[in-house]
Structure 1
């Protein structure tokens, strides 16, 4: 594991990392499927299944389309499965729904306090999400933490999408440091692959999303219950 003393920035995933995934997205995902199905309940149920919602538990499967895909990928899959919308129109409608739903965000911990402590250590913070940049910024405003975050990168920000390295490389370029000086924190294998392919200094998995210990531990340098445990792990030798 890279010495935490060499880490100068942290790039967080949003959903399942900063936000409790099921508490935030359970209702939103169902609203999205209902929108895409245009009143066809049976089709909405099929779209949820395609998206990765387990019909028995109602939970979202790890690394599934709804867990890790971006809005365009979700729209493409749902149109192929029978949604009456065109891909571009459905993508725009879902992005609008997701942005408006930022008010439903349920943080996993007191993000304002955590971000204040991290930035007080001199760390630069960023967000890289498969959501749109507008939805990320709306969420940050809802949670009152916009001032702590230097860079918000969505799937539509021009850096490509996960699991490619573009979001990490874009963040590194924006803040002027090497990827090896950045820790990436996320709840899915897409996040860990972005970190690996982009040369991040640390890959940190968290279990507040859809990922599971068995899916993340092998791909991460650290696997934590929550970002609430981040400081104790990264800086335990300094505390």
Structure 2
């Protein structure tokens, strides 16, 4: 962590960071597996296990495909585990489902007010997600923070995928900031490793996703209960 530089920009993950992962995505994961299995219940359970989720309890393993993977990676994992699709065909189906999932998402706080406050304090703000860009924008629109974003990047936006550093570099290009002026905030190691590999000034983990203090400790400068505690470490 660079302690002698002021943080001027914040790049957030979406799922598990801005949105409560369990309440927002566990129901979607069941639907993902049902679609990928063409309604075959036994195969659906197999696909969930292959991608890191216990079909009985709904528990998702930290840094598993369903916790951190992008759509292509999830589709690839499910096809390898027996889903009767091509990766391309399943990716198209899942991207459509994910884009519509914003209608059912549960935010961890009043995101409109949260982003408005940070924007008023002069921070440059962005969202970088392993979800598709359309889904991010639909989420921002639904929860009233789209006008406070200086940058949006999904896995399909052309900046590469996590944990590669490209999304951070794209944020810097869009805002005029250097990486050491940026805090990266996320709920899993893909987010934190992206920040570290880009030379971000701060990596902040939150516990509203699939990670735990133990799983997130090595790559994070701070580990918070949720994003509402963020300003305490930015100061």
User: What is the TM-score with the length of structure 2 in the denominator?
Assistant: 0.97
Any unmatched runs of 5+ in structure 1?
none
Residue 108 of structure 2 corresponds to which residue in structure 1? 108
Equivalent residues in 2 for 1:183-202, closer than 5 Å = 183-202=183-202
The secondary structure found in structure 2 opposite 1:10 is: strand
Does the CA-based 8 Å contact 2:37-2:43 persist in structure 1? yes
Quote the offset at 1:2 in angstroms.
Answer: 3.1
CA distance in structure 1 between the aligned counterparts of 2:93 and 2:4, rounded to whole angstroms: 41
Secondary structure of the residue that 1:210 maps to in structure 2?
coil
Residue matched to 2:175:
175
Number of aligned residue pairs: 235
Which residue is 1:146 aligned to?
A: 146
Distance 1:56 1:42, change over 3 A: closer
Pick which of 9-18 and 54-63 moved more: 54-63
Q: Distance in 2 between matches of 1:21 and 1:192?
A: 17
Corresponding residue of 2:126 = 126
Shift of 1:109: 0.9
Check the 8 A contact 2:7/2:234 in 1, yes or no: no
| Contact 1:185–1:204 under 8 Å retained in 2 | yes
Misfit runs of 4+, over 2 Å: 1-5, 54-57
Instruction: Write the distance in 2 (CA, Å) between the matches of 1:234 and 1:7.
Output: 7
Return closer, same or farther for 1:207/1:147 CA change in 2, 3 Å cut-off: same
Contact 2:5/2:181 (<8 A) preserved: no
The match for 2:48 is: 48
What is the RMSD of the two structures over their aligned residues, measured on CA atoms? 1.2
Question: Where do 5+ consecutive residues of structure 2 fail to align?
Answer: none
Deviation, 1:233, is: 2.5
Is residue 179–residue 200 contact of structure 1 (8 Å, CA) maintained in 2?
A: yes
Alignment of 1:223-234 (within 5 A): 223-234=223-234
Structure-2 change in CA distance of 1:198 and 1:21 (3 Å)? same
Distance change >3 Å, CA 56–CA 32, structure 1 → 2: closer
Deviates more, 1:53-62 or 1:193-202: 53-62
Is the contact made by 1:4 and 1:234 (CA closer than 8 Å) also made in structure 2?
no
Alignment of 1:65-104 (within 5 A): 65-104=65-104
Q: Distance in 2 between matches of 1:169 and 1:122?
A: 20
C-alpha contact (below 8 Å) 1:70/1:130 kept by paired residues = yes
